[in-house]
Amino acid sequence: MTQSRREIRAAQLAAEKRKRRAGKRPHPGPEPTDDGDALEFRAGGGGSDEDGGRTGWKRWAIPTLKWGSLAGFALFVLAIVGVWVAYARTSVPAPNDFVGRQVSIIYYSDGKTEIDRIVQDEGNRQMVDLAKVPDAVQKAHLAAEDRTFYVNNGISVGGILRAVKTSITGEAQVGGSTITQQYVKNYFLSQDRTLERKAKEILIAVKIDGEKSKDEILGDYLNTIYYGRGAYGIQTAAQAYFGKSVEKLTVAEGAVLASVLNAPSLYDPAEGEKAAANLERRYTYVLDGMVEEGWLSPAERAKYTEVPEIKEYKGPRLSRGTSGYITAEVKKELVRIGLTDQDVAKGGLRIVTTIDRKAQSNAVKAMAKNLPKGVQGGLVAIKPGDGAVIAMYGGSDYSKRQLSNATQAIMQGGSNFKPFTALAAVREGISTKTKFDGNTPKEFDGYPHPVNNYDDRDYGKVDMRTMIGRSINTAFVELNEEIGPDKTRRAAIDAGIPEKTPGLKNDLGNVLGTSSPRVIDMASAYSTIAAQGIRSTPYVIARVTSADGSYSYTAEPSTQRAFAKEVTADVTDAMTYTTKPGGSATRIGREFDRPVASKTGTSEENLSKWFSGFVPQMAVSVGTYKPTKDGKSSLSLSDEESVAPDGSTIPANIWLDFMMPTFEGVEVLPFPKRAGLGDEDVPTTTRTTTEAPEPDEPTTTTTAPPTTTTTPPPPTTTEPTKTPPGKTDPPPTTEEPTVTITVPLPDETTTTTTKPGNGNG
């Protein structure tokens, strides 16, 4: 039969194709042949397509793979088999015993002596049927934590990958687990963050998802999750936050509970205004999510513009006395290092702090001895170059007042800020021997008011050492003008004052301490100078272990160089003039027989009083203020409330009474030798009779021709208590920083009243 042209051409192409295949084969037999889109395997031998069929032959195809890829595919198959075997062997463990959970114990740095115990209310959990939880409240929790709950298989791949990353890197935990995973972790497993625990969580979550209905899982979750305030489960949470049974919760109240459970210490408004602001944002996120998922109409959503009223919370049990403030700080740090609020609430933790037992006892005694009635004070002692908090006094009784004077209350810094200007100047190459005009009053371009020294005292030309020792306002503002106030602000931040400190601006008056830091901020900043320019992050937890051995943590100091050691050496030398004859804290120089670098501090109208200083081994800051009855502002400290009968200031006496017994028998270490940066640029001049002597210089000098002249009488040897009327430094700007606050916050306070600062003392 005659073949058509098309058939002939097809036969030729088939022959050419067979030849190409034959040329690629190194030996006969069943070999794979690449037909482009599929990988063919021919089983057996003999026969061909041209023989008219594949009698006895089988042919199949799989996705195209190179030989190297086959090995990867085999490993993938083995991994799948391994997971399947692990899944088959995994059994759902017995749940953790909530009723019999252990307390967590907080120890001093010796690891033996207890400071306090973290105890939740026993049995504070009530079971409730899911049917009693309003549908809108259920949906609020899904909108907050797991919007695909009813369609997923119990796990989140993205969340798993993030968890693996944090387990490897040690970074802080991030969200992303499904409701089923959270339920498994909190109800069945321990607090450890290992990959092994995460693998168990995944397998158990998938298994539970296959064995239980979604409603059963959601009901178990809502009955076991921790909402803060010692409340386990939604029924107890409804009572704790709104004083009502769960079935009476509104949509808005359900959205609040769904928001809070993510991290109660960050979202419960009882933790302060920052937490309240966090709650508002997450509350909006939850309600908007309900609209996106079709669980709430836009019209209904529009009704809930504000967070509903929440019950006042009086705090957990057994957080009393001075140790309660340490316990509160430990709880916050446990969350910062990666544990959840529920991990902490489960208990069984053994927490060794950095707090030294002897030093803490001395801090409490010093405060009790010196702090007048009605005056609040805070003390923080930090190990330079490390950041470990050695002692911390936040108040007399945490159960009565939860605002920590050490870590939350803010006070105008006053003259405690002057060393930051000195740091900035020396960093710019200005010698601490450079002299500035210390006469009063003085006016400066761009500054709206004259600057005065205490008691209208004229000092003539003085260098930075005398300026710090005698706290001379006019000379420091002149120095600040020369270097630029932005340099002072930058130096304060580099030393350890938080960038968002209320009132911390680039204005000329920032050298006088118009911003309002916390005591722990000031102690941290001074510790940077003590550590020869090494800034460290303060911390209170040294190590943590769980009673069952499933979790462990050891702190690693976080440090970085902020200033050259030559810069801090010169500033440290200048700060020693505060306690030398003629300085503003001479009692310390007389009674504490070791080198001390320090600075006094008084704010406008005597609204706050400071003393901050250091020895090579420890930096300590003390701040005092007098809050109004409602706690929303601060009152002026009277002479009796700020100055002791012997003329020394209250904060300086607290500092001294803390340091002397703490350093009894401790080696006396010297400060680094002054480097003398910029000394070569200081002009050599002869002192005139209009100049005040430096603190360590004699009170008489001679000039040519030789005549003896008497210098002006030295200023008081104690820090001034209150700037006389009409002799204060006016506010540098119309915006004035805050002095104190009303409610406690996790890390900072909020603005309540404004007062200008003068930096006297």
Active site residues: 145, 415
∠197-202-203 over CA atoms, to 5°?
100
Report whether 399 contacts 678 (CB < 8 A): no
List Cα–Cα distances, 667 to 597, 616, 617, 670, 673, in angstroms: 17, 10, 10, 10, 18
Tell me how far apart the alpha carbons of residues 595 and 659 are, in angstroms, rounded to a whole number: 12
**Helix H or strand E encompassing 117:** strand 114-118
Report whether 433 contacts 682 (CB < 8 A): yes
Q: Tokens for 101, please give them.
A: 């959970």
- CA 376 vs. chain centroid, Å, equals 24
Mind giving me the DSSP string for 645-706? TTS-BHHHHHHHHHHHHHTTTPPP-PPPPP--TTGGGS---PPPTTSPPPTTS-SEEEETTT
Tell me how far apart the alpha carbons of residues 241 and 227 are, in angstroms, rounded to a whole number: 9
DSSP strand pairing (435-437 vs 461-463)? antiparallel
Side-chain-side CA neighbours of 110 within 13 Å: the count stands at 9
Tell me how far apart the alpha carbons of residues 231 and 128 are, in angstroms, rounded to a whole number: 14
Tell me how far apart the alpha carbons of residues 442 and 435 are, in angstroms, rounded to a whole number: 16
Report whether 741 contacts 408 (CB < 8 A): yes
Tell me how far apart the alpha carbons of residues 750 and 677 are, in angstroms, rounded to a whole number: 40
Full 3-state SS string of 588-618: HHHHCCCCCEEEEEECHHHCEEEEEEEECCE
> Which residues fall within 8 angstroms of residue 450, CB to CB, at 6 or more apart?
441, 442, 443, 730
Q: Does the bond joining 538 to the residue before it have cis omega, within 30 degrees of 0?
A: no
Give burial (CB, 10 Å; 0-12/13-18/19+) of 95: middle
Full 3-state SS string of 149-164: CCCCCCCCHHHHHHHH
Q: Does the bond joining 441 to the residue before it have cis omega, within 30 degrees of 0?
A: yes
Report whether 394 contacts 423 (CB < 8 A): no
